[in-house]
Chain A
Amino acid sequence: MFFQTIADNIADWGPRLLAGLRLTFSVTAGGFCLAFMLALLIEFLRTRRHAAVRFIARLYIASARGVPILVILYLLYFALPGAGITLSAVAAGTIGLAAVYAAYLAEVFRAGLHAVPAGQREAALSSGMSPLQAFRLVLLPQAVRHTIAPLLINLVSLLKDSSICALIAVPELTLVSRELMSESFLPLHVFALTALLYFGLAWPASLVARALEQRLHQQGQRDSGRGKRPVVEVAAVG
């Protein structure tokens, strides 16, 4: 009966849910790309020598992590027009998500760089590389390995949090499903279907992220040779 009702309505619901899904996609993708670039900027600022610059970067991260996304979206969408800046709902949603996730991704980047032993940089510098070369050729390739899984996990979180954009009237998947609910009075069917769509997108990414994490963890154990091998072959990593 449950599936019969869904089958009866899918001709109407399907195209509209897909339209919502498309917007969910673009908000997620746009938000993630923007967050990625912002995070690089924040991480760059945080490693500068000026204490004031570092403080600003840290303040940004602390406030972006301490305030709910919903509040930030409301500020961007409802309060900014008061200051003369009017954003469309989609723009406000994308920018808001990016602003929050930039703080998270900055932490990911930092953790990635910290995961590379300090000796690597010292060895690169002492073998005659410039600091930039050491960063580009030695540190970055190793740091990237440690950031891919957390980046993917953050992407999944961002996808889930894009549903919050429904509350500032971005017609993405969750808002579409709420509209369908109020038309059809079939909340259970509509939201179960919506949940399934989100799950279909998020779960594979979560699985890949976990597999990557596990592999890295095993590699880490092998590299540090817990108890079995002496730690000598640092250069063979990769």
Chain B
Amino acid sequence: MSDALPGLIVEAFFAGALVTVKVTAGALAVALAIGMTLAAATVLTNSRMLQTAIRIYVEALRNVPSLTFLFLLYYGLASLGLRLSSMVAAIVGLGLIGGAITVDIFRSGFRSIPVGQSEAATSIGLTPFAAFRLIVLPQGLRQALPSIGNYAVALVKDTSLVAAIAAPEIMFNARQLVNETFQTGLIYGSVALVYLVLTGAVAQVMSLVERRLETR
């Protein structure tokens, strides 16, 4: 048994890490799409109703624990007849929570661009949308990038919670391995290392992207 343990660990972790990466990528995509769309809509339209709706969405999701929200989504919707697979629930749940975080990041990024720039752009004949897309968006995204990087790192860590709704990521696999082998210290210690590598890698990639954009 002890001879096979390293092999078992590597196998379980590799499969788990793959799922962790998938959930992270999926949730990040959902969160960025929601955040950017809503932030752009608030900057472009100025509609009071939209602002209020977004405020409610942000406040509701940022003041409730991720775990509670995941349970609500996974078990709650199932009781209404909408049975999500644990992977879908994980990606949608973390994505929705993330959207509430990224919308504020993008919005303050867009707002940090002086109004004069979009005024100048519209006065030389650009439509408001074109002014936003060509002038405000590229600069605003660059402003938002460091905070998005922090969010991405936090997201990698939050994916560990989806083990609680039975998505077979690292933590879930580790727990099963512990149930078979009882090597708690070794296995959970290695899990910690795997997460350190993953979060470190994400942070590195983000700062690389940041530097790349800065030099241009």
User: Which of B63, B65, B76 contacts A192 (CB under 8 A)?
Assistant: B76
Please judge, given known A-B contacts A70-B163, A74-B188, whether A199 and B63 are in contact too, CB under 8 Å: yes
- Determine whether the beta carbon of B72 is less than 8 Å from that of A191: yes
**Residues in B78-105 with C-beta less than 8 Å from chain A:** 78-80
Nearest Cβ on chain B to A34's Cβ, whole angstroms = 20
A140 at the interface (CB under 8 A from B): no
Q: Is the interface of B mostly helix, strand, loop or mixed?
A: helix
- Contact count band on B: 35 or more
Q: What per-residue 1/0 map shows which CB atoms of A166-196 lie under 8 Å from chain B?
A: 1100000010011001000111100110110
User: Which of B59, B153, B163, B192 contacts A72 (CB under 8 A)?
Assistant: B192
- Determine whether the beta carbon of A185 is less than 8 Å from that of B79: yes
State the CA gap A67–B71 with chains docked (Å).
Answer: 22
**Residues in B144-189 with C-beta less than 8 Å from chain A:** 153, 157-161, 163-164, 171, 175, 178, 184-185, 188-189
- Determine whether the beta carbon of A67 is less than 8 Å from that of B79: no
B191 at the interface (CB under 8 A from A): yes
- Determine whether the beta carbon of B63 is less than 8 Å from that of A198: yes
* Residues in A whose Cβ lies below 8 Å from that of B191: 71, 74
B14 at the interface (CB under 8 A from A): no
User: Which of A68, A78, A174 contacts B65 (CB under 8 A)?
Assistant: A174
User: Which of A83, A167, A202 contacts B64 (CB under 8 A)?
Assistant: A202
How many Cβ-Cβ contacts under 8 Å join chain A to chain B? 123
State the CA gap A191–B159 with chains docked (Å).
Answer: 20
User: Which of A66, A83, A159, A203 contacts B200 (CB under 8 A)?
Assistant: A66
* Residues in A whose Cβ lies below 8 Å from that of B178: 78
Nearest Cβ on chain A to B200's Cβ, whole angstroms = 6
B67 at the interface (CB under 8 A from A): yes
B196 at the interface (CB under 8 A from A): yes
* Residues in A whose Cβ lies below 8 Å from that of B71: 174, 177-178, 181, 187, 191
State the CA gap A66–B192 with chains docked (Å).
Answer: 8
Nearest Cβ on chain A to B15's Cβ, whole angstroms = 17
A82 at the interface (CB under 8 A from B): yes
State the CA gap A206–B104 with chains docked (Å).
Answer: 14
- Determine whether the beta carbon of A191 is less than 8 Å from that of B63: no
Nearest Cβ on chain B to A5's Cβ, whole angstroms = 11
State the CA gap A203–B60 with chains docked (Å).
Answer: 8
- Determine whether the beta carbon of B76 is less than 8 Å from that of A187: yes
- Determine whether the beta carbon of A67 is less than 8 Å from that of B196: yes
Nearest Cβ on chain B to A151's Cβ, whole angstroms = 17
For A, the interface residue count at a CB cutoff of 8 angstroms equals: 42
A161 at the interface (CB under 8 A from B): yes
User: Which of A70, A177, A206 contacts B62 (CB under 8 A)?
Assistant: A206
Q: Which residue of B lies closest to A164 (CB)?
A: B67
- Determine whether the beta carbon of B196 is less than 8 Å from that of A68: no
A139 at the interface (CB under 8 A from B): no
- Determine whether the beta carbon of A68 is less than 8 Å from that of B171: yes
State the CA gap A66–B200 with chains docked (Å).
Answer: 7
B139 at the interface (CB under 8 A from A): no
* Residues in A whose Cβ lies below 8 Å from that of B196: 63, 66-67
B51 at the interface (CB under 8 A from A): no
A90 at the interface (CB under 8 A from B): no
State the CA gap A86–B69 with chains docked (Å).
Answer: 31
A75 at the interface (CB under 8 A from B): yes
* Residues in A whose Cβ lies below 8 Å from that of B65: 159-164, 174, 198
Q: Given known contacts A68-B158, A81-B184, A191-B76, what 18 new A-B pairs fall within 8 Å (CB)?
A: A65-B199, A66-B157, A68-B171, A68-B195, A70-B161, A78-B184, A79-B188, A82-B184, A164-B67, A166-B67, A167-B67, A167-B163, A174-B68, A194-B68, A198-B63, A199-B60, A202-B64, A206-B59
Interface of B toward A, CB cutoff 8 Å: 59-60, 62-69, 71-72, 75-80, 153, 157-161, 163-164, 171, 175, 178, 184-185, 188-189, 191-192, 195-196, 199-200
